[in-house]
A = this chain, B = another copy of it.
Amino acid sequence: MSEPVPQENQAVPPAVEATTAPAPGQAGEGETPAGPSKGELKKRAKEAEKAKKAAERAAREEEERKKREAKEAEDHAKQNYGKLPLHQSQERNHRRFLKFAELSPESVGQRVIFRARMHNSRAQGAKIVFLAFRQQTHTLQGVLVVSGEKDENQVSKQMLKYSQLIPSESIVLVEGVIKSAEVKSCTITNYEVGIHKLFTAVEVGDLPFSIDDASRAEADFEKAEKDENLQYSRVALPTRLDNRVMDLRTPTNQAIFRIQSAVGQLFRDYLNSQGFIEIHSPKLQGAATESGASVFKVQYFNGTAFLAQSPQLAKQMAIAGDFERVYEIGPVFRAEDSNTHRHMTEFLGLDLEMAFEEHYHEVLEVLDEMLKNIFKGLQSKFQHEIEVIKKQFPHEDFLFLDETLKLPFKEGIKMLKEAGAKGSDGEELGELDDLSTENEKFLGRLVREKYKTDYFILDKFPLAIRPFYTMPDPTDSTLSNSYDFFMRGEEILSGAQRVHDPVFLAERMKSVGIDPASMTGYLDAFKLGAPPHAGGGIGLERVVMLFLKLGNIRRASLFPRDPKRLNP
């Protein structure tokens, strides 16, 4: 409450009129060379009378002003607003604090208390201020009206002024009564709060950008460029990421990270229901496995360690260790100097590995059901969040079929060729060629057209373009028991049946130029006997980015890391 109440808008009392006439009895004193004329005397008497009246009026006005000021300085609403001292858990009253999301018809007429961000304020005349309070994706209108009564809920002019000077983004504590209303400028359109008390708990200084500017869709900016009445400031992605804490407060980001959290939850829910257990494998590795080129080195006491590029080896070792069905959600690290919309140096891997009985399609089907469980869960339980995001990132709802399209790789190549696609070298596409990013996207469009789905599986990839631990097809040695899953034409999951025989695995290593001696820990696991198994790895941020069509993977990462960014 130490905040001085600002005075600038205070009604200024009328200034006392200055008069040029001397006071009576003082005029011409000591000046007697010639007596004044009668007319002159009359005139003087009149002027004196006028001056007297003016003085009287001024005195009266001065008195009134003092009275009024005294009355205003009293401020019976003082206890209802102001700045709170530092919150050190001084007391506990077990009051229930309102969450805007909980508002319902029963709330009307209830006295509530809540904590929120000061989103903005707008005065209407001298006696009313409309405030917008924000909690995550919701804004609620508050109304502050100067009241006549002198009761405990009194709102004074000073309080009104105070409310207008609270900086945006400050955290306020509000008490008031919920009313039915029709509101256009807030996300909550059918209620508002009549404010009785308004305190600043945390005052905020300069902002790098406004939440409103950071929340606009690209289309809004394009509109503003053609309309000189609209003054919007585009907030570039690097600016957002430099000030990520501020950026994260936009309703869009609040919704994105609720969805990111839900994806992990839905992933686990499905796998738990299928008898999986969650494992945690070490990120610090003694050797640079898989592909040495893109691995980060760590100074480990007097030696060197490496950051795991995936839990691939560990999860397979867990299978050899008899855990049968395992998953892991954890960071994976890629020391690749890729500066694209879909690469980061650290991202979240949703990995799973599963022993199977007869056919690797048992695993492919679990992966498929798990992903559909994610899509269904998001569309049924997070419609509010999806709608919030669509305002800034407009997109068509993600399409998927009850029975997922499982396309053999060769079939995909055929579709591409028929549509006129060429290889990245401009040559005819071969049945065993890898797919370029462009052709993947092209295939995604062809599939969407033909099958009405944004989601499908490509199965039976050529062996030569898959990692050494991929199991070859039993009848065609140029193919393999491996698969990729696609969302909106981009790969989100890659997986395969793995080679579980140590002799064959060592052969495969040699055939791709890896010295089996460099991976003894891994090979040893298979010498101890591993059941047939398959699995896959998903990039969490890619799923979020593609489901919501965010256009850049950094938007799906809380604090993204790329070759040029390590902060905040």
**B-contacting residues of A (Cβ < 8 Å)?**
86-95, 97, 115, 117, 136, 169-171, 201-205, 207, 243-249, 253-254, 257-258, 260-261, 264-265, 268, 272, 277-287, 296-301, 303, 305, 307, 314, 317-318, 320-324, 329-331, 333, 335, 337, 345-346, 348, 355, 357-361, 471-474, 481, 497, 500-501, 504, 521-522, 524-525, 527-532, 540, 557-561, 563, 566-568
Contact = CB atoms under 8 A, between A and B. Distances in A.
Contact of A249 (B117, B300, B307, B321): B321
16 contacts: A171-B529, A203-B529, A204-B527, A243-B524, A245-B317, A248-B323, A253-B321, A254-B322, A254-B323, A257-B277, A261-B277, A284-B333, A286-B567, A297-B299, A301-B563, A303-B566
A260 to B, nearest CB: 8
Given A201-B531, A558-B314, A88 B566 contact: no
A499 to B, nearest CB: 9
Given A202-B529, A281-B559, A481 B244 contact: no
A175 to B, nearest CB: 13
Contacts of A285: 566
Contact of A359 (B86, B91, B561): B91
B115 A531 contact: yes
Contacts of A286: 566-567
B559 A331 contact: no
Contacts of A92: 358-359, 361
Contact of A280 (B282, B287, B333, B348): B348
A331 B568 contact: no
A244 B316 CA distance: 13
Contacts of A360: 89
Nearest to A262: B277
Contacts of A504: 86
Contacts of A474: 88-90
A320 B245 contact: yes
Nearest to A206: B527
Q: How many copies does the complex hold?
A: 2
* 3 closest residue pairs by CB, A with B: A248-B321, A286-B566, A521-B568
Given A92-B359, A330-B330, 19 more contacts: A88-B481, A88-B497, A89-B359, A97-B357, A115-B531, A171-B530, A204-B529, A243-B524, A261-B278, A265-B278, A268-B268, A282-B559, A282-B560, A282-B561, A297-B298, A298-B298, A301-B563, A521-B568, A522-B568
B89 A521 contact: no
Nearest to A307: B298
A361 B284 CA distance: 37
Contacts of A521: 567-568
Nearest to A533: B87
Nearest to A522: B568
A475 to B, nearest CB: 8
Select the residue from A204, A298, A471 with max chain B CB neighbours within 10 A: A298
A299 B330 CA distance: 21
A566 B357 CA distance: 33
Contacts of A346: 282-284
Contact of A301 (B117, B136, B337): B337
A67 B35 CA distance: 173
Contacts of A322: 117, 136, 248-249, 254
A567 B289 CA distance: 12
Nearest to A521: B568
A461 B95 CA distance: 27
A18 B104 CA distance: 107
Contacts of A357: 95, 97, 115
Select the residue from A286, A337, A504 with max chain B CB neighbours within 10 A: A286
Contacts of A282: 331, 346, 558-561
A471 B171 contact: no
A280 B258 CA distance: 12
Given A95-B357, A254-B323, A261-B277, A205 B559 contact: no
Contacts of A321: 244-249, 253
Contact of A473 (B88, B115, B527): B88
A92 B559 CA distance: 45
A201 B314 CA distance: 22
